[in-house]
Structure 1
Amino acid sequence: MSPKIAIVGAGPAGLTLASILVRNGITPTVFEHDASSTARIQGGSLDLHPGTGQAALDACGLTAEFKKYARYEDQDASLCDKYGKRYLESKGQDAGRPEIDRGQIRQMLLDSLPDGVIRWGHHLVAATEDSLQFKDHTETGFDLIVGADGAWSKIRPLCCTVTPYYAGITCAVMDLQDTSVKYPAISEMLGNGTIYALGCDDGLAMSFQRNDNDVIKVVASGRWQEGWLKKIGLNESDHAGILARLKKEYKDWAPEFIRVFDEYKGDVSVLPLYMLPVGLRWPSRQKVTIIGDAAHLMTPFAGEGVNLAMADGMNLANAIIAHPDNIAAAIAETETRMWKMAKVASNLAWENGLLRYEPGGLEKWVAFLKEKFEKQGDLQLLELLDKKQ
């Protein structure tokens, strides 16, 4: 008899877990707070890695579908200082990590599930190892409850007592639509892929990232205090005021970067970054576990968050399939593996985050990448780096 499994959260981790289980004859129930799949924008583009995100999609039977949407041309990347000087440039290189929009990944996973698996509009209020208490009813009788409910997980307290803390960086995010028509200069500057620009001595950074459908996501970020927006007398709905403040903060930056603060007229999302401690673990439970951001929330500076979340879902699904009558063993096996992977990734994210916003960080990053590319034999990048020395 198949175990009765509840998955809280229809993000990458929870949907990967559900999809693989369904393919192997185990039908879980996914409880999602959102009213529908279109209730929220799912974020920007990301690169899926072969051993984690891509492997998880393959286990879901979605490799062919993934290749329909994967943008191999958007693996281009440039690293600049705040004056626009390029220290590193990679163009036309296939690193095996194509870009794809988050919304496309989610929709592929949703489409792989039969009707009835996801129960939308379920706002979890509280949970125990034996029950899920929603606003208007309670669900019980599960052999396993999986918290795939993100940074502020309501399932996490059943596993550990640690809560996320502010990572010291706040991001202001702008989504530029129809960029080839509305923002041609920015679109031409970017080309394909992503530009990273570091201020280093001012604690600021910017990134310009090509998304699908002629969209460019611009992120201005800095070492601002938690609650920065409120402390400078602005609220989240004052988008014009936020843009004016950003223009002031970045006044010493190159015109090609800061023109976005004048040209952009849309919404600005101000997002403080939070994280869980590097190396977090807890005593395994018999019937409850957490995966993805619920288990190892980290900053985005390693590019591993979604990849690890999907790998967590894949590894837990495989463990359940191998031990359907011993859920506790499946949990312990998955968590041990997850902790090791997350410790490496979250430490890398933390160190990379420090590097981006500290004096001398750009030079250290270039030196690190030069050593890496020497080992990989990437002559195009080495030639450019040598010219910058």
Structure 2
Amino acid sequence: MSPKIAIVGAGPAGLALASILCRNGITPTVFESDASPTARPQGGSLDLHPATGQAALAACGLTPQFEKYARYDGQDFILSDKKGNRLFEIKDQETGRPEIDREQLRRILLDSIPEGVIRWGQHLVSATQDTLQFKEGHSESGFDLIVGADGAWSKIRPLCCYVNPFYSGITGVEMTLRETSTKHPELSKTVGNGSFFAFASEDGRVLQFQRNDNDTIKCYAFMRKPDNWAKNSGIDWQDPQSIRASLKSDYADWTPELSRVIEEFDGTAAVRPLYTLPPILRWPSQKKVTIIGDAAHLMTPFAGEGVNIALADAMNLAKEIIAHPDDIAGAIHEAEVKMWDGAKDAAALAWENTLLRYEPGGLEKTMERVTTMLKKLDEH
């Protein structure tokens, strides 16, 4: 008899777990607070790595669908200073890490899951070892396994450990440029096909441009800012001119080649204060509850590993459940050991890069790290 499994959260980790389980004859229930798959934007682009993200999609049977959307030319990479001086460039080089938009990744995962598995509009307010209580007033119980794939502010995490995320010291402002080849040709040419990182480490400022599908570019203005800066800054985040005035002040001495994005973006901005969990985090395994993805090892995006490790979590947990459906406690423990081991280096790198990129000398040291990474990729 199949175990009764609840997955809280329909992000990449929760969907991948559900997809693999369904493919192997185990049907979980996914509870998601969003009202529908299109309730909110999914963000920018992701590079998926062979041994983690791509392997998990293969376990879902989704390699052909991934290849349909994967952008191999999106692996191009440029590193510059705030004056636009290009100090490092990778072009037309295979790194094994093609890009895919978050929206496309979510779509192919959703399409692989049978209708009725995901229950939308289910806002979890509290949980015990076998019961989920929802804002709508109802509860669900009797589960053999509850999996928290519910992100940074997980309601399931307290059932495993009492460690909360802390503010990283960095806040980002996400901007979008659309129809870039015709409406923003200069910026489109500057960014190219992949990612463009411009650093002013001494000032605690970064502009990160990222090519997306559909002739779209995302730009992230990451800055060293106090906690709650977004609330206390006086910026009206619904008013494009208020947003532009603030960013123009922060990037006043940057080359117009890059800072022009502040004037040209489409007027809507998402504020993203970055939080993280300790780079090494583990807990005594529970018998009926576990967490995966950001709920278990939230990290900043500066190692490019978050979604890859999350997808690997889902794959490893699914494999253990499929292999040991009558020993859920054992499956949890085996999967968690793999998760802790797989996440610790990535989380440590993300934290080190968070410190490095926003301190004097960060640009030069980042160049050294990228060079070292490329050498390792070439060796393999």
TM-score w.r.t. the length of structure 2 is: 0.97
Deviations 1:137-185 (A, max 9, x none): 1101100000000011111111110111100000010011111122111
Give the structure 2 partner of residue 36 of structure 1. 36
Does the aligned pair in 1 maintain the 2:21–2:27 contact within 8 Å? Answer: yes
State the alpha-carbon separation in 2 of the partners of residues 371 and 87 from structure 1.
15
Does the aligned pair in 1 maintain the 2:178–2:266 contact within 8 Å? Answer: no
State the alpha-carbon separation in 2 of the partners of residues 339 and 243 from structure 1.
41
Does the aligned pair in 2 maintain the 1:229–1:235 contact within 8 Å? Answer: no
5 Å-filtered alignment, 1:362-373, equals 362-373=363-374
State the alpha-carbon separation in 2 of the partners of residues 27 and 265 from structure 1.
42
State the alpha-carbon separation in 2 of the partners of residues 54 and 264 from structure 1.
32
Give the structure 1 partner of residue 126 of structure 2. 126
Give the structure 1 partner of residue 350 of structure 2. 349
Deviations 1:210-247 (A, max 9, x none): 00001100011111111113332223323321111111
State the alpha-carbon separation in 1 of the partners of residues 378 and 340 from structure 2.
32
Per the TM alignment, residue 373 of structure 1 is displaced from its structure 2 partner at its CA by 4.0
Give the structure 1 partner of residue 71 of structure 2. 71
Find the residue that maps to 2:153 and give its secondary structure. Answer: coil
State the alpha-carbon separation in 1 of the partners of residues 374 and 54 from structure 2.
23
Give the structure 1 partner of residue 60 of structure 2. 60
5 Å-filtered alignment, 1:80-229, equals 80-135=80-135, 136-229=137-230
Give the structure 2 partner of residue 308 of structure 1. 309
Find the residue that maps to 1:186 and give its secondary structure. Answer: helix
Give the structure 1 partner of residue 14 of structure 2. 14
Find the residue that maps to 2:73 and give its secondary structure. Answer: helix
Unaligned runs of 5+ in 1: 379-389
State the alpha-carbon separation in 2 of the partners of residues 153 and 230 from structure 1.
22
Give the 4+ runs in structure 1 shifted more than 6 A: none
State the alpha-carbon separation in 2 of the partners of residues 312 and 123 from structure 1.
23
Give the structure 1 partner of residue 259 of structure 2. 258
State the alpha-carbon separation in 1 of the partners of residues 107 and 375 from structure 2.
39
State the alpha-carbon separation in 2 of the partners of residues 139 and 108 from structure 1.
28
5 Å-filtered alignment, 1:304-343, equals 304-343=305-344
Does the aligned pair in 2 maintain the 1:240–1:265 contact within 8 Å? Answer: no
Does the aligned pair in 1 maintain the 2:44–2:218 contact within 8 Å? Answer: yes
Deviates more, 1:314-323 or 1:262-271: 262-271
Find the residue that maps to 1:201 and give its secondary structure. Answer: helix
1:377–1:336 distance in 2 versus 1, CA, 3 Å: closer
1:186–1:125 distance in 2 versus 1, CA, 3 Å: same
Give the structure 2 partner of residue 360 of structure 1. 361
Aligned AA for 1:310?
L
Per the TM alignment, residue 314 of structure 1 is displaced from its structure 2 partner at its CA by 0.5
State the alpha-carbon separation in 1 of the partners of residues 34 and 378 from structure 2.
47
Aligned AA for 2:88?
L
Does the aligned pair in 1 maintain the 2:43–2:103 contact within 8 Å? Answer: yes
Deviations 1:230-288 (A, max 9, x none): 33222332332111111111111111011111222420111100011110111100000
Per the TM alignment, residue 375 of structure 1 is displaced from its structure 2 partner at its CA by 5.3
**What fraction of aligned residue pairs are identical, expressed as a percent?**
65
- Number of equivalenced pairs: 378
State the alpha-carbon separation in 2 of the partners of residues 373 and 289 from structure 1.
35
State the alpha-carbon separation in 2 of the partners of residues 376 and 229 from structure 1.
39
Does the aligned pair in 2 maintain the 1:130–1:142 contact within 8 Å? Answer: yes
Unaligned runs of 5+ in 2: none
Does the aligned pair in 2 maintain the 1:168–1:224 contact within 8 Å? Answer: yes
